[in-house]
Protein backbone atom coordinates (compact mmCIF):
# COMPACT_ATOMS: atom_id res chain seq x y z
CA UNK A 1 0.00 0.00 0.00
CA UNK A 2 1.27 3.45 -0.91
CA UNK A 3 0.24 6.46 1.15
CA UNK A 4 1.11 10.14 1.23
CA UNK A 5 3.81 10.56 3.87
CA UNK A 6 4.84 14.17 3.23
CA UNK A 7 4.13 17.03 0.91
CA UNK A 8 5.53 20.52 0.97
CA UNK A 9 4.71 24.15 0.47
CA UNK A 10 7.19 26.86 -0.43
CA UNK A 11 7.10 29.75 2.03
CA UNK A 12 8.64 33.24 2.30
CA UNK A 13 9.94 32.64 5.81
CA UNK A 14 10.10 29.23 7.46
CA UNK A 15 9.95 30.59 11.03
CA UNK A 16 6.88 32.75 10.33
CA UNK A 17 5.26 29.87 8.42
CA UNK A 18 5.91 27.54 11.35
CA UNK A 19 4.25 30.00 13.74
CA UNK A 20 1.26 30.49 11.42
CA UNK A 21 0.68 26.81 10.70
CA UNK A 22 0.96 25.85 14.39
CA UNK A 23 -0.30 28.86 16.39
CA UNK A 24 -3.04 29.96 13.98
CA UNK A 25 -4.08 26.91 11.97
CA UNK A 26 -3.52 24.49 14.84
CA UNK A 27 -1.07 21.97 13.39
CA UNK A 28 1.61 20.42 15.62
CA UNK A 29 5.35 20.40 14.99
CA UNK A 30 6.65 17.02 13.86
CA UNK A 31 10.26 17.88 12.97
CA UNK A 32 12.30 21.01 13.56
CA UNK A 33 15.95 20.50 12.70
CA UNK A 34 18.61 22.98 11.63
CA UNK A 35 21.23 20.86 9.86
CA UNK A 36 24.72 22.32 10.09
CA UNK A 37 23.46 25.87 10.66
CA UNK A 38 21.65 25.92 7.31
CA UNK A 39 17.97 26.33 6.53
CA UNK A 40 15.68 24.68 9.08
CA UNK A 41 13.86 21.49 8.15
CA UNK A 42 10.37 21.93 9.60
CA UNK A 43 7.33 19.70 9.23
CA UNK A 44 3.90 19.98 10.79
CA UNK A 45 0.98 17.58 10.99
CA UNK A 46 -2.55 17.31 12.28
CA UNK A 47 -2.67 17.99 16.02
CA UNK A 48 -3.23 14.69 17.81
CA UNK A 49 -3.05 12.89 14.48
CA UNK A 50 -0.32 10.54 15.55
CA UNK A 51 2.64 9.70 13.39
CA UNK A 52 0.70 7.97 10.62
CA UNK A 53 -0.85 11.01 8.98
CA UNK A 54 0.79 13.07 6.24
CA UNK A 55 3.27 15.76 7.21
CA UNK A 56 3.56 19.19 5.62
CA UNK A 57 7.12 20.36 4.91
CA UNK A 58 7.55 24.14 5.14
CA UNK A 59 10.18 24.71 2.45
CA UNK A 60 12.16 27.91 1.80
CA UNK A 61 10.57 29.44 -1.29
CA UNK A 62 13.28 31.80 -2.45
CA UNK A 63 15.02 29.52 -4.95
CA UNK A 64 15.15 30.01 -8.72
CA UNK A 65 12.41 27.43 -9.32
CA UNK A 66 10.28 27.89 -6.20
CA UNK A 67 9.90 31.67 -6.21
CA UNK A 68 8.49 32.12 -9.76
CA UNK A 69 6.26 29.05 -9.31
CA UNK A 70 4.86 30.26 -5.99
CA UNK A 71 4.35 33.81 -7.25
CA UNK A 72 2.54 32.66 -10.41
CA UNK A 73 0.33 30.29 -8.42
CA UNK A 74 -0.59 33.05 -5.94
CA UNK A 75 -1.27 35.64 -8.65
CA UNK A 76 -3.50 33.15 -10.50
CA UNK A 77 -5.50 32.62 -7.29
CA UNK A 78 -4.61 28.93 -7.10
CA UNK A 79 -4.32 27.43 -3.61
CA UNK A 80 -1.08 25.54 -3.00
CA UNK A 81 -2.82 22.97 -0.81
CA UNK A 82 -6.29 21.97 0.38
CA UNK A 83 -7.07 21.20 4.03
CA UNK A 84 -10.20 19.35 5.07
CA UNK A 85 -12.22 20.77 7.96
CA UNK A 86 -15.45 19.70 9.64
CA UNK A 87 -17.09 23.14 9.41
CA UNK A 88 -15.72 25.68 6.92
CA UNK A 89 -17.98 28.49 8.15
CA UNK A 90 -16.93 28.07 11.80
CA UNK A 91 -13.25 27.79 10.84
CA UNK A 92 -13.56 30.91 8.66
CA UNK A 93 -15.10 32.81 11.57
CA UNK A 94 -12.39 31.62 13.99
CA UNK A 95 -9.56 32.54 11.63
CA UNK A 96 -11.00 35.95 10.71
CA UNK A 97 -11.13 36.61 14.46
CA UNK A 98 -7.40 35.88 14.57
CA UNK A 99 -6.74 38.37 11.76
CA UNK A 100 -6.34 35.90 8.89
CA UNK A 101 -7.12 37.42 5.48
CA UNK A 102 -9.37 35.42 3.16
CA UNK A 103 -9.30 35.66 -0.64
CA UNK A 104 -12.65 33.82 -0.74
CA UNK A 105 -15.14 33.39 2.06
CA UNK A 106 -17.19 30.22 2.55
CA UNK A 107 -18.88 29.24 -0.69
CA UNK A 108 -20.79 26.15 -1.81
CA UNK A 109 -19.21 24.52 -4.84
CA UNK A 110 -21.19 21.45 -5.79
CA UNK A 111 -20.66 18.75 -3.16
CA UNK A 112 -18.33 20.87 -0.98
CA UNK A 113 -18.04 24.19 0.83
CA UNK A 114 -14.71 25.95 0.37
CA UNK A 115 -12.90 29.06 1.57
CA UNK A 116 -9.47 30.35 0.56
CA UNK A 117 -7.10 32.04 3.00
CA UNK A 118 -3.76 33.82 2.66
CA UNK A 119 -1.21 32.00 4.83
CA UNK A 120 0.83 35.23 5.27
CA UNK A 121 3.97 33.59 3.85
CA UNK A 122 3.21 33.73 0.13
CA UNK A 123 0.47 31.17 -0.43
CA UNK A 124 -3.24 30.72 -0.78
CA UNK A 125 -4.65 27.75 1.14
CA UNK A 126 -8.08 26.24 0.55
CA UNK A 127 -10.28 24.89 3.32
CA UNK A 128 -12.84 22.28 2.25
CA UNK A 129 -15.81 20.62 3.87
CA UNK A 130 -17.79 17.85 2.22
CA UNK A 131 -21.56 18.28 2.15
CA UNK A 132 -23.91 15.42 2.92
CA UNK A 133 -24.90 13.62 -0.28
CA UNK A 134 -28.53 13.70 -1.31
CA UNK A 135 -28.62 9.95 -2.00
Instruction: Report the CATH superfamily, name and number, of domain 6-130.
Output: 2,3-Dihydroxybiphenyl 1,2-Dioxygenase, domain 1 (3.10.180.10)
pLDDT tens, 44-70?
A: 999 987 777 899 999 999 889 999 999
Closest CA to 47 of 31, 26, 23, 16: 26
pLDDT tens, 78-106?
A: 999 999 999 999 999 999 999 999 999 99
Amino acid sequence: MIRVAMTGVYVDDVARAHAFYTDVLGFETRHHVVPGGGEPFVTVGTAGGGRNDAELLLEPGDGPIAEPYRKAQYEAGIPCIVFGVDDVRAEHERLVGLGVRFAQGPEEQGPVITAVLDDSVGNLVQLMQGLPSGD
